[in-house]
């Protein structure tokens, strides 16, 4: 009898928790992508809108996206028009496939707005698509009109100009004081990031004026990071990392998590919105329960993609080292060529699902890189002169 009573109480508590979650379910999600936002930007720059959202929501300090590689030919390029992080974010998995289900397919009315034409391949499934080069202000104007006229239950807004500011910093004239320094007070990167934050604030105020703010799940994040010298080259970790802030129904207030993965964003949105996650394979992300109200999850989070990126980056360097050393020891070039056929690197992203899980992919690639490092170590310990540059 006592056991039955306890089970009944537990059942009622579970039911009550489910009703509470349902009662606070958002009416819509607005996902804002500030292109190329450095993970330290919220602390180093004046971004009052981001700060206010963080005060009343939850922040992930370091979201890890896959290395922002963008092949211009081959199987991936035949499918996608942007770098890896964008389709992986919307699919919620690092395992990519042609004609893949993405988050927008889970909603009846979805809209996508970008002030760039680079994201055509991830627009399937949206009822409204606007891609036109212009300012962040014009993109936000369009988002406000779409929210007013179409009332989508999911809107993705991509603001491109912060990333453009990083490129301008990289490519600046040699006498420009901000050349190769996004943190210089006069750098175009700071100007663009500050303007993006101001425009996000305009979007927030428009939602408030329309009476839609309180029931909106509002997320600001990025597609990839930014290096100190500008843009997002393959090897630097700054290229992989960016922040995220979640605000709205079901989100804890004033909470911070150190680590998450870019592929966690979509499963978290799906959970809060009560729709199925678009993919549940071995490369899929997880629901970020630590940022949700009523979960009791105080974990600090961790990244599964970060160690994969480390192995992918190390492979690039180790392969170059083997090729250079092969001018003195040709067998090292043979080894590099043999291992290339077995390594699931950035050029083989469409094959990653062959390993079944992200963990298996990481273990396999670690083994290959380990063989390369051991061969290099033996070469150096043999005392043979290193190949000249």
Tens-place pLDDT, residues 191-210: 999 999 999 999 999 999 99
The answer on pLDDT for 161 being more than 50 is yes
Q: What whole-number distance in Å separates Cα of residue 313 and Cα of residue 311?
A: 5
Asked whether 130 and 112 are in contact (CB, 8 A), the reply is yes
Asked whether 127 and 110 are in contact (CB, 8 A), the reply is yes
| The pair of three-digit structure tokens given for residue 23, joined into one six-digit string | 């009662």
Nearest to 91 by CA among 81, 99, 102: 102
Query: What percent of the chain stands above pLDDT 90?
Result: 89
Confidence of residue 6 (pLDDT cuts 50, 70, 90): very low
Helix axes of 188-209 and 48-55: crossing angle, nearest 10 degrees: 50
pLDDT tens, 46-92?
999 999 999 999 999 999 999 999 999 999 999 999 999 999 999 99
Confidence of residue 299 (pLDDT cuts 50, 70, 90): confident
C-alpha dist (Å) from residue 152 to 30, 163, 254, 345? 9, 27, 28, 38
Confidence of residue 296 (pLDDT cuts 50, 70, 90): confident
**Beta-bridge partner residues of 259:** 62
The answer on pLDDT for 11 being more than 50 is no
Residue matched to tokens 């970060």? 306
How far the first Cα of the chain sits from its last, in Å, is 80
Q: What is the DSSP letter of 262?
A: G
**Which is more confidently placed, 386 or 155?**
155
Mean pLDDT of the chain: 93
Query: What percent of the chain stands above pLDDT 70?
Result: 92
Confidence of residue 5 (pLDDT cuts 50, 70, 90): very low
Q: What's the predicted TM-score (pTM) here? A: 0.92
Q: What whole-number distance in Å separates Cα of residue 257 and Cα of residue 255?
A: 7
| The pair of three-digit structure tokens given for residue 42, joined into one six-digit string | 């919220």
The answer on pLDDT for 138 being more than 90 is yes
Region 251-270: mean pLDDT is 97
* Residues sharing a CB contact under 8 Å with residue 247, sequence separation 6 or more, in sequence order: 53, 56, 57, 58, 217, 218, 219
The answer on pLDDT for 36 being more than 50 is yes
| The pair of three-digit structure tokens given for residue 145, joined into one six-digit string | 């009109």
The answer on pLDDT for 15 being more than 60 is no
Confidence of residue 384 (pLDDT cuts 50, 70, 90): low
Region 355-376: mean pLDDT is 98
pLDDT at residue 385, as a whole number: 54
The answer on pLDDT for 1 being more than 50 is no
Region 144-164: mean pLDDT is 98
Confidence of residue 291 (pLDDT cuts 50, 70, 90): very high
pLDDT at residue 301, as a whole number: 82
**Which domains, ranges and CATH numbers included, belong to the chain?**
13-301 (3.40.720.10), 306-381 (no CATH)
């Amino acid at each position: 009898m006592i056991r039955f009573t306890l089970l009944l109480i537990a059942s009622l508590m579970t039911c009550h928790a489910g009703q509470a979650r349902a009662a606070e379910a958002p009416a819509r999600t607005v996902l804002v992508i500030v292109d190329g936002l450095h993970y330290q930007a919220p602390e180093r720059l004046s971004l009052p809108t981001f700060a206010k959202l963080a005060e009343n929501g939850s922040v992930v300090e370091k979201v890890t996206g896959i290395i922002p590689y963008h092949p211009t030919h081959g199987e991936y390029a035949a499918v996608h028009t942007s770098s890896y992080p964008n389709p992986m974010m919307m699919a919620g998995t690092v395992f990519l496939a042609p004609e893949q289900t993405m988050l927008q397919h889970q909603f009846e009315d979805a809209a996508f707005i970008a002030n760039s034409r680079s994201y055509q391949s991830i627009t399937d499934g949206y009822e409204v698509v606007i891609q036109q080069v212009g300012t962040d202000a014009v993109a936000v104007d369009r988002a406000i009109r779409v929210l007013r006229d179409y009332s989508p239950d999911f809107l993705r807004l991509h603001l491109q100009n912060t990333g453009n500011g990083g490129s301008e910093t990289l490519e600046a004239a040699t006498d420009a004081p901000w050349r190769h320094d996004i943190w210089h007070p006069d750098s175009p990167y700071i100007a663009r990031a500050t303007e993006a934050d101001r425009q996000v604030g305009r979007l927030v105020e428009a939602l408030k004026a329309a009476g839609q703010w309180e029931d909106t799940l509002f997320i600001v994040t990025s597609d990839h990071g930014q290096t100190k010298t500008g843009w997002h080259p393959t090897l630097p970790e700054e290229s992989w990392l960016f922040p995220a802030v979640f605000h709205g129904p079901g989100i804890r207030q004033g909470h911070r998590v150190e680590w998450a993965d870019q592929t966690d964003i979509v499963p978290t949105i799906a959970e809060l919105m009560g729709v199925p996650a678009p993919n549940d394979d071995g490369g899929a992300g997880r629901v970020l329960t630590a940022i949700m109200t009523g979960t009791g999850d105080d974990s600090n989070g961790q990244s599964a993609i970060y160690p994969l990126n480390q192995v992918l980056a190390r492979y690039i360097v180790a392969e170059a080292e083997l090729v250079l050393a092969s001018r003195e020891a040709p067998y090292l070039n043979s080894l590099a060529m043999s291992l290339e056929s077995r390594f699931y690197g950035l050029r083989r992203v469409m094959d990653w699902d062959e390993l079944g899980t992200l963990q298996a992919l990481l273990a396999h690639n670690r083994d290959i890189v380990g063989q390369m490092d051991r061969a290099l170590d033996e070469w150096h310990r043999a005392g043979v002169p290193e190949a000249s540059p």
